[in-house]
Structures are given as structure tokens and as C-alpha cells.
Structure 1
Amino acid sequence: MMNMRTICVGLSALLAAQLAMADPIPEENGFSGSIGLGVGGNRVKSNLFKGDKNQRTNSLNSAPESHNDSFALPVLDLSYTFAASRTQIVFDSQIHDPLGMDDTLELGVRQQVGNNGIVSAGLLYGGLNKNTWTDPYAVGVDRDGTKRKSTGLLLGWENIMGTGFKAQLTQRNIKIDDERSGQSVAGLSAADRATLNRNGDATLLKAGYEWAFAPNQTLTPGLSWGKDKLDGGAMSNKSYGLSLDYAYSSDLNTFSAGLQFRKQRFDQGNPLFGNKKADSNAYAVDLNYLRHQLFGEKALSAFVSAAYGKSNADISFYDAEIRSLGVGLIYSF
């Protein structure tokens, strides 16, 4: 099941994260980072993503229909460095789930530990532009929207023991402001409705190896393991993922490409679909390009970013597909 809640913010976070190679702590005190803004469009197939044109679904037994959305595309990556102590305060976007375009804002600290790498810790908040349906299963009526918020912690270690290995662990609490899943379905018991509850905790562990195989180029294979321990057993799941990222960067050009694959396995059957589990296989591909020193301005860059993702679930109601394209400008300092 691909979560399509936060496509526009998630795409900008994906862009910022995947265009970065190894990011050492600067040698001088002061602020650094980048800010930017762009525009983009999506073509989405999803019964769960809350858009402007899919308030109504006509059946629980059919795959979703496609609709188009446009969005603003913010880019944010800010930091302040204390060079003497090799400490950096950061405020940026962190990707929780690239396949679901699910991201959070992070306020954290990075600390270089001699030649043993850089350790990090941060506070996470996800609540900007994260709208979902109060009851995704309401059929033949305009569904009401609500906020999906998350708060949590991040722990990370880059260049582990001086190598290209890196790992990151996030733990978040997810809160749906007005959770009414299944309330509109006649004959569904209170116990069955409880299995659809989307509130709870989410854990994600990611690890990878950044291989600088040629000048200015890296290849990063990665693994991920996730567990969503939600109040509803039919929504609780475990996931296993593979990823492969490529990046090239020079004075004038930066290019990246990424491929992700994920298996998601649910704890209980879904009472709306004959107690069948919503197990799914999903993949996503993205391409990103930056042109630096735009119009001769050293700090100004232009970007174009494209992404495609698809999830095939054992329950067709949860199938999803997305095509996204965005363009914009970034100012670095």
C-alpha cells in the first residue's frame, strides 16, 4: 500500500537529499545551506491520497481512478557550524518513506567524532501539507479531510568508522486528528472499525554504503526495515526495502537517479475485504538535475525533477500510482 499523502513536500525533500553526496561538516563557523522554490504537477491514482479532485470514490472493490494536481515545491536545507568543536546545527527535511513521499522536518545536531564518522540526533515533525481523509472508505459521498501529524526522534551515523557505510533510525508517533475509518460502512462492528485505526508508532531503519567509484561520482546501495505498530491491526505492517542511488556532481552540473523497491506485509486481515491482508509490492524511480551558476550567479541553480512510483496491493482498493514533474530555482550560501 503506497501512502500518497505528501507528494509535493516529499518530492522536494527527495530532491534535496538525493542530490547530496557525502556532506562533511564545514571548516569555518557560520550559516550555510540552500533555499528554493519551484512548481510541479502530479498525475495520481490513489484512493487514500487527499487531493482536490478525488473527494469521492464510487466503490471499495475497484482500483483508483487517476486525477491531476499541481503544487508548490519548496526546498529547505539550513545549518550553522561551530568549526572548533566540529558541531553542526541543522534544520531541513528528512525522508521517512521515499516510496510514499512521506517526509518530516528535522531540527538536529551533527557531531564529527574524529576519524570515526559523523553522528547525528534530531527532533522530527511532520504536519505541513499532510492531509488525509477522516474515512477513506466512504462511498458515493464527498469525503471529509483531516490532518495527519507525526512527531519523533532521529539517530544517524555517517562514514561509520571512516568507511562509506551509513545508517539512520527514526521513531515517530503518528496522529490522525479525526480518525473515522470505516464509520460510514453499514454493518461494520465497532471491533472491526478499530482494526482500521491509523494512529500509532512507526519505526524505520535504513543502512547503505556510499561508494565513490569515480571522480565526482557515487553509487549507494541500501537496505531498509520498517514497522508500523498502529492501533488498528489491519493497518499495522512490516516492510523490507532495497534502494540504489547514483549521483554525479561538478562545478556546473549535478545529476542523480534513484531506484527503490519495497515489500509491505500486514499483521491482520482487513474486515472490509473479507479479512484479506493488504500486502503490497511497490517501487519508485526518480531523476534529478541541477544546473549551477545560473546566469553567471555563483549561488543560483535551476533544477528539474521527475519521479514515478507504483504500488500493487493484494486488495485493489489500495493500488496506487504517481507521476510527478517539478522545476524551480535554488539559492545556496
Structure 2
Amino acid sequence: MARPISLAAAIALSLSSTPLIAEPIKPIPQESGFSGSLVVGLSATEYSSNMIAGPNGDLADSNIDSLDDKPGSESDVSPFFTGELNYTFSKSRTQLFLGSALEDLVRYDLTFQAGVRQELADKSIVYGAYLFSAIPTEVYADPYQTGSSRDETDRASSGARIGWQGIMGSGFGVELTHRSIELDDEDSGDALVAQGAITAAQQDDLSREGDLNAITISYRHSIAQGQFLVPEINYRDYDLDGEAMAKSQYGGSLAYFYNTPQYSLITTVFYSHFEHDEENPIYGITEEGDSFGGSIVGTYHNLFGWEGFSGLATVGYAESDSDINFYDADVVTGSLGVLYRF
């Protein structure tokens, strides 16, 4: 079964390093009616994570022998799809939207959104959206269970996003996001409590449920006809129930956009640093580390002479390097697909 976006999205989100690169401001169409985009294709992914089980729950090695080792490498080839449907009210310069925007393929973001965009007199655009997980990500209910197969459980999130792009006619943009993260079964540490390795009170510090609040500030800088840079800084506060899992993360990214009538290219690099709030009861230290990576997305327009169709190719790499080996993670992915804009 095809998945929204791909497994790479789930792993990249687990790295907590997803770059929220601001796409160039998409003007609201001059005519009323429907518009949008649809992407279908095939992706190949090689990844390692001790926390993520994969969208279908059957892709990662569910049996581990030690809590001191880095995760083993897994691979997957799968179809994917993503898309967005819009309806424009041209007179009021208002647009309703539903789905997962094309730029989310660059972000490796599984979140779907339903909201409204409004063009202001200075041509800037304000927007607000409700966020939800159309397809939950599969994680391990108790990732610290060793010596036997670990059960999977759904992780979903919901929340809201507001933003303002092209503020007062400038290249600046700002975006605020709030998400609540929930697991069907949050059993982190059950096996360790049963073994007497940690107490029930310490187990509470391992909970992955809670809230995520983020702010992103970007600037679009034109450097030549059809070329521009988008530097970005961001801060995230993971206010999770487990004090050892709660963390603050700050970082930045830089995207280069190159557009011609025949093809487009987006190149992105990003880096972030994270620090957890409290000592991890399993390892006796307070976790911290760095996440980094990059991606290239290319589109070839009017594929085979078909108006509205483009060929799409992506490659990406992301890594999270923690001072606790168990939490290390990385993903390498490539995909080929077809983009249809209408």
C-alpha cells in the first residue's frame, strides 16, 4: 500500500532535525476555483533507529540484545504519494487548503493540514492551519525491551500552525507551531521495571507523550533572476511528560532555489543542537547531541510534453549524533516520482 510521503519522513522526524525551509511565497491564483498538486513515486531508504518501527510496523529489527549499542541498519523500497487541494476565492484573496503541501516532501514531514491563507494589501500572506496525522507513525511501545520481539504502537500528533510570509512586503517570514504528541501504548521502561533496573518513578521520566512548541524565522534573499537563498533559524521546545525525554533544540538551515522554465532545483543543508532537561535514568547522564543533514530536490517541467506534469527526483541524508549511542539515528533516501499541478 502506498504511504503518504515515505518511511524517510518518519525517521527524519525521529532525528528531531527536520528543516522547516520556507518555500517561496506561493501567490494566490487570480481566478476562483480549485488548484493543487499531486506527487506519486517510488522511494528507497536506508535507515537506523532504535525508536521508530516504520509506518507499517514491520520494517525495522524489533529484537535488540543491548541498550548500549547503536541501532542496526535497515532498508526499504516503497511507493509514496502526497498532495494538496486548494480552493480560491479570488475577490477576497482567500484560499482554503487541505492535504500535505509539496514543500513537506522537502521537509520530510508526515503532517497533514487543513487551513486558510489570506493575501494582504502588501502581497504578504498570513495563514493558519489545523495539523493532524493522517497516517500515524509506528514506534516501539517499549523501545528498551531486549532479548525478545518489541511490540509496535501508533504515534500521532495534532495541533495548530500560524504564519506570516513576506511580512509587510519584505523577505521575512515567521511561523509558530504547536503539536500534542500521543502514543496508543506508551510502555517505555516496562521491561526494565520488571527486571528491577529502574523504579516506577524513574520510568515516568521516559514518557514520549506531551507537547511540541516551535518558532521559525526565515528570510528570502534574491541573488539573481530565478535564484534566491532562504536562511532560517528555529527553536523547538519538547515539553514532554518524561523529564528525561523533554528537551530544547535550536538550529538553522540554508536553502538555495534555482528556477527556470524547464527545471527547478532546491538544495538544503541544516544543523541543530539539542539538550534534554533531566538525567536519563537508564544511562545516568543528561542526553545532548547534534543533528545535521541535507537534501536536493529537482523537478523537470512539462514531462514528455505534458502540460502540468513534472518529473521529480530527491536525495536526502539526515543524522542525529547523541552522546548516548542507543539514541543515534540516521537516514539516507532517494526517490523518483511524477508531480502534477492543476
TM beyond 0.5: yes
**1:132 alignment counterpart:** 139
Amino acid at match of 2:143: P
Report if aligned partners of 2:22, 2:230 keep a CA contact under 8 Å in 1.
no
Task: Extract unaligned runs of 5+ from structure 2.
Answer: 1-5, 14-19
1-side partners of 2:10 and 2:324: how far apart? 25
Match of 2:50 among 42, 47, 51: 47
Give 1:48 deviation, angstroms. Answer: 1.1
- Alpha-carbon distance between aligned partners in 2 of 1:215 and 1:134, rounded to the nearest angstrom: 51
Residue of structure 1 in register with 2:163 after alignment: 156
Q: Secondary structure at the match of 1:184?
A: helix
Deviation at 1:92, TM superposition (A): 3.0
Residue type of the partner of 1:248?
Y
2:32 aligned partner, one-letter code: N
RMSD of aligned alpha carbons: 2.5
What are the residue-to-residue correspondences of 1:10-49 with 2, within 5 Å? 20-49=23-52
Find the counterpart in structure 1 of residue 296 from structure 2: 287
Shift of residue 252, structure 1, vs aligned partner? 1.3
**Whole-Å Cα distance in 2 between the matches of residues 65 and 71 of structure 1?**
20
Q: Partners in 1 of 2:178 and 2:209 — Cα distance?
A: 14
Contact 1:31/1:80 (CA < 8 Å) preserved in 2? yes
Unaligned runs of 5+ in 1: 1-5
User: Per-residue deviation at 1:75?
Assistant: 2.3
Alignment length (residue pairs): 326
C-alpha deviation, 1:158, in angstroms: 0.6
Matched, 1:301 2:310: yes
Give the distance between the partners of 1:11 and 1:317, measured in 2 at CA.
Answer: 15
SS at match of 1:55: coil
Asked if 1:228 corresponds to 2:249, the answer is no
Q: How many Å separate the matches in 2 of 1:282 and 1:24?
A: 33
Residue identity over aligned pairs, in percent, reads: 33
Tell whether the 8 Å contact from 2:11 to 2:47 is kept in structure 1 after alignment.
no
Using the TM superposition, give the Cα deviation of residue 194 of structure 1 relative to its aligned residue in structure 2, in angstroms. Answer: 0.4
In structure 2, what is the equivalent of residue 144 of structure 1?
151
* Residue 95 of structure 1: how far off its partner (Å): 10
Q: Tell me the SS of whatever aligns to 2:282.
A: helix
Displacement of 1:53 after TM fit? 3.4
Q: CA contact under 8 A between 1:127 and 1:147: conserved in structure 2?
A: no
Distance (Å, rounded) in 2 between the aligned partners of 1:256 and 1:141: 43
Partner of 1:326: 335
SS at match of 2:25: coil
What corresponds to 1:174 in structure 2?
Answer: 181
Report the Cα offset of residue 28 of structure 1: 0.9
Call closer, same or farther: CA 1:110–1:91 in 2, change over 3 Å.
same
Return closer, same or farther for 1:97/1:250 CA change in 2, 3 Å cut-off: closer
Deviation at 1:116, TM superposition (A): 6.1
- Per mean C-alpha deviation after superposition, the further-off stretch among 20-29 and 232-241 is 20-29
Q: CA deviation at 1:21?
A: 2.5
Cα offsets for 1:140-163 (capped at 9, x unmatched): 211101100111011000100110
Q: Which residue of structure 1 lines up, in the alignment, with residue 16 of structure 2?
A: none
8 Å contact 2:136–2:156 — kept in the other structure?
A: no
CA contact 1:39–1:73 (8 Å) conserved in 2: yes
**Matching of residues 3-152 of structure 1 within 5 Å:** 7-9=7-9, 20-51=23-54, 52-93=59-100, 101-115=108-122, 117-152=124-159
Q: Go from structure 1 to structure 2 and tell me whether the alpha carbon gap of 1:118 and 1:206 turns closer, same or farther (over 3 Å shift).
A: same
1:240 paired residue among 230, 247, 250: 250
- Measured in 2, the distance between the counterparts of 1:145 and 1:92 equals 26
Q: Encode CA deviations 1:150-207: one digit per residue, 9 max, x unaligned.
A: 1101100010011000011110111011000010112121101100011111001111
Q: Deviations over 1:102-157 (max 9, x none)?
A: 43101010011211621111100025141111001111211101100111011000
- Sort the Cα spacing of 1:95 and 1:248 in 2 relative to 1 into closer, same or farther, 3 A: closer
Contact 1:159 1:165 in 2 (8 A): yes
> How much does 1:93 deviate?
2.2
Q: In 1, distance between residues paired with 2:299 and 2:179?
A: 32
Cα separation, 2, equivalents of 1:288 and 1:102: 15
Q: Which residue of 1 aligns with 2:266?
A: 256
Determine the C-alpha separation between the residues in 1 that align with 2:66 and 2:107. 23
Q: Check the 8 A contact 1:202/1:228 in 2, yes or no.
A: yes
1:142 and 1:272 map into 2 onto residues whose CA distance is 20
